[in-house]
Each structure stands twice: as structure tokens, then as C-alpha cells.
Amino acid sequence: MSNNGVAKRSKGTFAWALWDWAEQPFPTIFQTFIFPIYITSSAFGPEADTSRALGLATTLAGIAVALAAPVFGRRSDEMGKRKAWLMMNTFILAGVMASLFFIAPTPSMLWLGLIIFSFGGFVQEIAFINYYAMLKQVSTPSNIGKVSGFAWGLGYVGGIVLLLMSLVGFVQTDNPWFGIPLDDALNVRAVFLFSAVWLLVWSIPLFVSVKEIEKKADVAKENIIESYYKLWGQLKSLRRQAPETFKFLISSAIYRDGLSGVFAFGGALGSLAFGFELADVIIFGIAANIVAGIGAAIGGFIDDKVGAKTTIMVSLIGLTIAGFAVFLFAGYGPITYWIGGLFLTLFVGPAQAASRSFVARFTPDGREGEVFGLYMTTGRAVSFLSPLLWTTAISAALAMGIANAQATIYGILGLMLVLVVGTLLMARVHPNPQ
């Protein structure tokens, strides 16, 4: 490759990685640290009920992704519209964020807010199919782990900036920016509007610098039914033709759902079980993103040196130990959440980034969208596990007569069970599946 070609790829690499920074409001603000605290607060109803409602909404979004992901992935590969699909999903996701501004703190708005939030989760996951599929376009076989880890780390840095601006400008102040009043949680809801603008602005470099893929020649058109029929044939043959890949997809589906659960319910856990106020959760989120960003960046280098599987296994074991420690030492109060929660975040980034590079390494050129669509589908096929076990564990604790706040801590046992099963299955996967 010429020096000019290397420069162009480097420019595209940073622009691609910057989208991890751009979309950071949804995982940071909406899935973890602010919106879950807001929507599960007593303003929307009894906190145990709102927490379980959040789990149900997350489950429904996962089912929708499982049904739609393979079709979107196949079509982006074949029709040459990978970037176009990502652009459209980015605009829709920004609209979802902005619309949540109108969810006022009253019980009658609970389910409308959760429905909009669930739709946003669906759109984000579909966007990820095309975003992940671009990884091989902006990296080489020798640096794919570093590029994936760098992008994930950059996303965490974006989360730090977001949370700092939210805390200083909107939440922990008597005079929010732009003269926004404090009535009806308008200062908190303004963060949702700010997030939408953030996503749109920081997505521009990718849309300008990363090239669209070409449409495949002689592609026969297929309708939705045909797409699912071909998917079913692909799944049936996968176990026979590529058993190690099949085992990875199954194991990663389970442990990635556990990782998603840590993010989805981490903020609610700090608020309900450890008594954190919203400002406390945001401060914790800033610290967590710093630790997670460091972990993701280091994990990227380790990935290229010792392999993705080793990186994933070490991360999953670390996550499991930290999670059980949070439960066992919960009686010590907030210090447990600070120490255990930060150890959890240290290992989440490397596990996620290494999983992404693991898939990209064994994906044939020109089929990235299809394979990542299958990756997302298998992940979302079991996406009910974490919210279901979170809700079941809390319900069991309540049935045993444990008070609402103390019952919430039992939810982490459900998440750890998912991670343990995923870790055991991942241990059986070959480090270089074909």
C-alpha cells in the first residue's frame, strides 16, 4: 500500500473510531447512569416495580433485534449500503434521545418512556451491525485488536466528557445551562436533548471519511421471507461446517448478554441498593469510564499480542470475581460499590473489544455485515437472560421478605450466573476458529 493509501486509511480509522465517541450517550446516559435512575425513581411508581419494568422493556428490545439483525446484515453487504444504513440509524437514534425529553416524572409516563427507550436500544444494535462490519475496512490483520480497543477506549473517554458536562451543566447545579429551570426534572431531561446533538455532530467525520462499500455484482433480490429462509439454512450448516465458530457464537451470545446486563442495571443497582443519588451515580460513572477506557486500551494491545480468546477469558473471570464480591460485601455500604463496581468496569471494555476483533478476524471479506448480523442475532436470541434473571432474583428476594432496597442487590446474582455460564462455554472454544 502506498504512503498515501496508509494516510487515507489512518484518517478513516480515526473517523470510524470517533463514532464510538459519538454514540456514547446511549450506553452511558440512557442505558447506565442517568435515564435508568430517572425512569426507576419513585416519581414513576414503587421502585421495585419500575426496576422490573425496565428489565421487561430491555427484554422486548432484545427480541426485536434477534428477529431483525440477520436481514439488515445481509442486505448491507449485498446492496453496498453499509454506511447509508449506519447514517439512517444514527439519525433515528438521535430522534429517540431527543423525544425522551418529553417523558415527565409521573407514573403515567413510565411505559411510554420505556417503549421509546426500548426502540432506541433496537436502533442502536442494528447500527452496530454496520459499524462493526466496517472494522476490517479501517484496520489491518496486525492492528485490528488495537483499532477495536482504541475505539472502545475512545468511547469511554466520550462517556467521561458527557458525564462531566451533564453533572456540571445540568444536574449538580442550581443554575443549569441555557437558563433551564429545575421544575419537573427539566434539568435532567435536558441532558437527553444535549445527547442527541452530541451524536449528530460527532458522527460527521465517519460519514465524510469512511468510504461506502460497493454493491455486489449480480445480486439476486430477496424478500424478507427469503432472507430468513437463507439465515435458517446458514444456521443449520454452521455447526457441521464450522463447529468452533458455532461454539463461539453461542458462548459469546451468553457472556455478552451478561456484559449488557452489567451496563443496563449497574446504575439502578447503585441507586436502589447502595443509596446513591443521581449526582453520586454520575461521579461514579466518570470514574468507571476512566477505568474502563484504560482497560479497553490495554486490552487492545494484549489482544494483538496473546490473542482475543485469552483477553476475553481473563476479562470474564475478573468480571465474575468482582460481581460476586459486590454481592458478598454489600453490607459494607457504598465503598463496596465503588471498589467492586470499578473492578467490573475494568474488565468490561477488553471483553467487548476483543469479542468484536475475534469475529472480524475469521469473517470472509465481503460478508462482514452478514456475519456480524449473525453475531448480533445469536447475542439477542438470548438477550432475555440477564433482564429475566435480574428480575427473577429480585422477585425471589422480595418473596422471602427482604425489603425493596436490600432485594435489589440480589439482582446481581442473576447477572453473574449468565457470565459464569458464558465463561465456561467460551473455555471450550478454539482460539482460531475457521
DSSP assignment string, 358-424: HHHHHSPTT-HHHHHHHHHHHHHHTTTHHHHHHHHHHHHHHHTT--HHHHHTTHHHHHHHHHHHHHH
Q: What is the pLDDT of residue 3?
A: 44
Mean pLDDT by 10 residues, the chain (434 residues): 46 87 90 84 82 80 73 61 87 96 92 93 86 81 79 84 87 84 89 94 92 66 68 69 78 87 75 78 81 81 84 92 90 87 85 81 66 70 78 84 74 90 91 71
257-285: per-residue pLDDT in tens?
888 788 767 777 777 778 788 778 778 87
Residue 259: predicted pLDDT:
85
C-alpha cell at 217: 455484482
The pLDDT of residue 111 = 92
Please, what's the b/e burial string for 111-125 (b: 16 or more CB within 10 A of its CB; e: otherwise)? Answer: eebbebbbbbbbbbb
- Residue 75 identity (one-letter amino acid): R
What confidence score (pLDDT) does residue 2 get?
42
- The whole-number pLDDT of residue 284 equals 84
Amino acid at 332: Y
Q: What pLDDT is stored for residue 77 in this prediction?
A: 56
By CB atoms closer than 10 A (0-12, 13-18, 19+), residue 2 is exposed
The residue whose grid cell reads 466496517 is: 134
**What are the residues whose beta carbons fall under 8 Å from the beta carbon of 347, sequence distance 6 or more?**
295, 314, 315, 316, 318, 319, 322
Helical ranges in 100-143 per DSSP H: 110-133
The reported pTM is: 0.74
Mean pLDDT of the chain: 81
Given 3-state DSSP classes, what are the helix, strand and coil percentages for the chain, each rounded to the nearest 5?
85, 0, 15
According to DSSP, residue 220 is labeled P
3-state secondary structure of 125: helix
d(CA 178, CA 180): 6
Gap between the Cα atoms of 277 and 275, Å rounded: 6
Is residue 216 left, alpha or beta, with left meaning phi > 0 and alpha meaning psi from -120 to 50?
Answer: beta
State how far the alpha carbon of 28 is from the alpha carbons of 16, 20, 129, 212, 289, in Å. 19, 11, 19, 28, 9
Cα(13)–Cα(415) distance, integer angstroms: 34
What per-residue confidence (pLDDT) applies to 280? 83
